[in-house]
């Protein structure tokens, strides 16, 4: 079986959704599926140093890159659209990742023209909160092609039941399936040098810290977290704590976060490390007392599963769609985003080391449910079901 994955970009700066497709591709290949990822070379305002128009190995997966010609948001690429129109018929199924992008709409249009079945992973872009962000642009794209893409999908992949409920109730979509994302469990038990990372960043080995990790974006609730953390650490016995912000995002937004910390006298207690990856990312995760993700919206939260795999408990908002699982497993704290309760939640997290240890242990058990081999098996079954259904429909059409 040959499956083409189409996604607007895979550069690390785009966070979990883009990185997940690479892990998914590796797992599917180990499951016997022939995989190719088609994407653009977008990397923020710049471009990945990739050879264009030729399949190549990228982070262990065959990927073919095309130039992003304009629009960081839409990631328009005429060469990618032309390649899709010419080649989608070579694949059994297309797996489209994203909704409001040129790559997604072009892939769906090519599939409809060539009678190739496709499914769509929505990346959380269709829940009510997300649709309220830049609503005019999304409304226009919805009517220009996104609605038709969703209606024509053989299946719609959600990563949590909470996401499925929100989207189907709001938009009336059908054919939804819930298949979570996964992680490479073994990589989170590899040895790392915690002391070397801590020494590079303001002597963090001398301080317990709460961690923010990944792409920095207004939806992540980091402004509220910084303010609540700085208030919480005024309490007796909590002065030694640090908030580590390990990630990157729009330059203006990151500068805004730094300014918030500085203006609230948090220059020493809020540590910005910039983007971390590989062994450095694992080190900052392993060293954390807790991972915080108080998002306004999060369809999955891959970084949460990564933290839990390291035995690190998490503090999340109810708007992280894994919140119910975390609550049920006792793997962390689910705290509303309003200032008093967020501050109180942080105080509890920092003041109770035995509770952190207990919830971290529970987190390992929860994280074991999100393994790439299991996800790959579920996806392969879905692809085969979609392929069989499409073949049956085509046969009936010929008979009719």
Domain boundaries, the chain: 2-182+371-399, 185-367
Q: What is the pLDDT of residues 355-387, one digit of tens each?
A: 999 999 999 999 999 999 999 999 999 999 999
Q: Collapsing DSSP states into helix, strand and coil, what is residue 272?
A: strand
Mean pLDDT across 82-103? 98
Identify whether the C-beta of residue 107 lies closer than 8 Å to the C-beta of residue 94: yes
pLDDT band at residue 196, thresholds of 50, 70 and 90? low
Residues in the chain: 400
- Residue 67 CA to residue 369 CA, distance in Å, equals 37
Phi-psi region of 166 (alpha: psi -120 to 50; beta: other; left: phi over 0): alpha
Q: What is the separation, in whole angstroms, between the first and last Cα of the chain? A: 28
Mean pLDDT for the chain? 93
Q: What is the pLDDT of residue 62?
A: 98
Q: What is the pLDDT of residue 203?
A: 61
pLDDT band at residue 60, thresholds of 50, 70 and 90? very high
Q: Which two tokens stand for residue 299?
A: 């369809």
Q: What is the pLDDT of residue 398?
A: 42
Q: Which of 201-210, 223-232, 246-255 has the lowest mean pLDDT?
A: 201-210
Q: What is the dihedral of CA 196, 202, 205, 210, to 10 degrees?
A: -110
pTM beyond 0.85:
yes
Identify whether the C-beta of residue 98 lies closer than 8 Å to the C-beta of residue 75: no
Q: Is 312 exposed, middle or buried (0-12, 13-18, 19+ CB in 10 A)?
A: buried
pLDDT band at residue 395, thresholds of 50, 70 and 90? very low
Identify whether the C-beta of residue 100 lies closer than 8 Å to the C-beta of residue 146: yes
Portion of the chain with pLDDT greater than 90, in percent: 86
Q: What is the pLDDT of residues 39-48, one digit of tens each?
A: 999 999 899 9
Q: What is the pLDDT of residue 54?
A: 98
Same fold flag, 2-182+371-399 and 185-367: yes
Q: What is the pLDDT of residue 202?
A: 62
Identify whether the C-beta of residue 282 lies closer than 8 Å to the C-beta of residue 246: no
- Residue 291 CA to residue 147 CA, distance in Å, equals 36
For residues 341-378, b (16+ Cβ closer than 10 Å) or e, as one string? ebbebbbebbeeeeebeebbebbbebbeebbbeebbeb
> DSSP labels for 234-262?
TSTT-TT-EEEEEEEE-HHHHHHHHHHHH
The tokens 């872009």 sit on which residue? 125
Which class is domain 185-367? alpha beta
Mean pLDDT across 189-210? 76
- Residue 33 CA to residue 154 CA, distance in Å, equals 19
Match domain 2-182+371-399 to its CATH number in 3.40.50.970, 1.10.150.170, 3.40.50.2000, 3.20.20.140.
3.40.50.2000
Q: Which of 118-122, 161-165, 299-303, 389-393 has the lowest mean pLDDT?
A: 389-393
Residue 291 has pLDDT above 60, yes or no: yes
pLDDT band at residue 17, thresholds of 50, 70 and 90? confident
Beta-carbon neighbour count of residue 222 at 10 Å?
A: 27
Q: Which of 8-12, 197-201, 284-288 has the lowest mean pLDDT?
A: 197-201
Residue 26 has pLDDT above 90, yes or no: yes
Pairwise pLDDT comparison (266 vs 232), residue with the higher score: 232
Q: What is the pLDDT of residue 268?
A: 87
Identify whether the C-beta of residue 146 lies closer than 8 Å to the C-beta of residue 109: no
Q: What is the pLDDT of residue 182?
A: 95
Residue 317 has pLDDT above 70, yes or no: yes
Identify whether the C-beta of residue 8 lies closer than 8 Å to the C-beta of residue 75: yes
């Amino acid at each position: 079986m040959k499956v083409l994955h189409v996604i607007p970009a895979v550069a690390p700066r785009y966070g979990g959704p883009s990185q997940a497709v690479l892990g998914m591709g590796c797992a599917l290949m180990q499951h016997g599926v022939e995989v190719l990822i088609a994407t653009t070379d977008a990397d923020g305002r710049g471009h990945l140093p990739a050879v264009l128009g030729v399949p190549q190995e990228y982070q262990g997966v065959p990927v073919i890159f095309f130039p992003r010609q304009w629009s960081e948001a839409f990631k328009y690429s005429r060469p990618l659209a032309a390649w899709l129109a010419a080649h989608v018929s070579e694949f059994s199924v297309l797996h489209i990742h994203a909704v409001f992008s040129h790559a997604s709409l072009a892939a769906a249009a090519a599939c409809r023209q060539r009678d190739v079945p496709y499914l769509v992973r929505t990346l959380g872009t269709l829940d009510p909160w997300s649709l309220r962000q830049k609503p005019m642009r999304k409304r226009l794209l919805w009517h220009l092609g996104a609605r038709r893409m969703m209606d024509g999908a053989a299946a719609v992949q959600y990563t949590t039941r909470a996401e499925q409920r929100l989207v189907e109730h709001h938009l009336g979509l059908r054919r939804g399936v819930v298949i979570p994302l996964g992680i490479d469990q073994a990589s989170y038990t590899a040895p790392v040098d915690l002391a070397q990372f801590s020494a590079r960043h303001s002597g963090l080995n001398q301080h317990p810290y709460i961690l923010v990790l990944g792409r920095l974006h207004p939806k992540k609730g980091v402004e509220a977290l910084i303010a609540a953390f700085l208030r919480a650490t005024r309490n007796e016995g909590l002065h030694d704590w640090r908030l580590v912000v390990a990630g990157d995002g729009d330059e203006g937004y990151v500068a805004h976060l730094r300014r918030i910390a500085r203006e609230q006298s948090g220059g020493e207690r809020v540590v910005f490390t910039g983007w971390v990856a590989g062994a450095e990312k694992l080190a900052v995760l392993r060293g954390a007392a807790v991972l915080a993700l108080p998002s306004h919206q999060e369809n999955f939260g891959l970084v949460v599963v990564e933290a839990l795999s390291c035995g690190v408990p998490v503090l999340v908002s109810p708007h992280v769609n894994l919140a119910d699982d975390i609550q049920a497993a006792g793997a962390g704290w689910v705290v509303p985003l309003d200032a008093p309760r967020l501050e109180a939640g942080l105080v509890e997290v920092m003041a109770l080391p035995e509770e952190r240890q207990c919830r971290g242990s529970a987190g390992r058990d929860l994280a074991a449910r999100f393994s790439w081999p299991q996800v790959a098996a579920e996806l392969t079954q879905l692809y085969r079901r979609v392929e069989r259904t499409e073949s049956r429909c085509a046969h009936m059409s010929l008979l009719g």
